[in-house]
Amino acid sequence: METTAPLIDPFARAITYLRVSVTDRCDFRCVYCMSENMTFLPKKELLTLEELDRMCSTFIRLGVEKLRITGGEPLVRRDIMTFFQAMTRHLDSGALKELTLTTNGSQLAKFAAPLHAAGVRRVNVSLDTLDDRKFADITRWGRLTQVLEGIDAAQDAGLRVKINAVALKGVNEDELFTLQEWCAKRDMDLTFIEVMPMGDLGNEDRLDQYWSLKDLRARLAERFSLIDLAERTGGPARYVQLQETGQKIGFITPLTHNFCESCNRVRLTCTGELYMCLGQEDMADLRAPLRASGEDAPLEEAIRAAIRLKPKGHDFDYSRQTVDGQVSRHMSHTGG
């Protein structure tokens, strides 16, 4: 039947991974993600939790097997656990293989156990430094101790934690091995992410912050033997194993290595816009067909039409010391 045919893009890639931003709000103001005085979206523009359920359920019916909840900070959305609990039915049926989220960790002390009860087994925690002062500078509003307590709670609840650290030149370069050793001791994987040219952040100059992961990897190789791993976790990371410790380190390099050829994911914003590529401005409005009809057929067709427009890749490039392919929206709107 047409209604249950899988989502295949023009380059024969099956779309099985949906990242969903449930809010543009956050309790931090990280310098590479938001301006300090953000203007957030009016509530009426956001998909309700019921609409998010219907939207995600439609994608799952069309073959999406992995759902990652993002923001903003997803756990600051009021009553967000009702949405996670609603998604549990798709895990129970086997249609959804994994339900997970990316978080800044600030609310994990409160939500780790309920998340595990809802079927979440892995969380990614964004953490760029273990230094209190630097953490306050990067997040503007955050407290490191709160995040560390959240990570404790997540591990106590049985959640597998992966740390995502943005590589920031002149900021956390000196913590490369501190972060690596800390994650190894706690049996947490670690992924480094190249800073991306997202949003108009005022006076911050992204070129000054850009630390190539090629350089970061070379520094790791001075101390460890790096074994390239073939495994993928559904996202864009490429992994190595440190032979001496067995630890897994990931690299997300949108700027020095184009990982688009195997892209199986799309991003849904909190307002129902579907971005087929993080690095392109093209998007499809799914909120309109969702709200226009109680029937799912128009929404399904809008999703299929959007997937037919998915590009082959993006074009971020810092190599010429200019930010080509820069996109104007904030990461907090699109979802990390």
Residue 303: its pLDDT value, please?
A: 97
- C-alpha 20/C-alpha 333 separation (Å) is 10
Torsions phi, psi for 155 (to 5 deg): -65, -35
- Give Dmax (Cα) for the chain: 59
Q: Which residues are annotated as a binding site for [4Fe-4S] cluster?
A: 26, 30, 33, 260, 263, 277
Range 43-47 contact pairs with CB under 8 angstroms and sequence separation of 24 or more: 45/271, 46/270, 46/271, 47/270, 47/271, 47/272, 47/287, 47/290
Q: Which residues are annotated as a binding site for S-adenosyl-L-methionine?
A: 32, 72, 126, 196
Average pLDDT per block of 10 residues along the chain, 336 residues long: 73 93 90 80 94 98 97 96 98 98 97 98 97 93 95 98 95 96 96 73 59 94 96 79 95 67 87 85 92 96 94 56 44 50
Q: Which residues are annotated as a binding site for GTP?
A: 19, 68, 102, 162, 265-267
CATH of domain 2-334: 3.20.20.70
Residue 30: its pLDDT value, please?
A: 83
Q: Which residues are annotated as a binding site?
A: 19, 26, 30, 32-33, 68, 72, 102, 126, 162, 196, 260, 263, 265-267, 277
Tokens read off for 163: 């740390």
Name the residue ranges covered by the structural domains of the chain: 2-334
- C-alpha 14/C-alpha 9 separation (Å) is 7
Sign of the four-CA dihedral 71, 76, 78, 83: positive
Residue 210: its pLDDT value, please?
A: 84
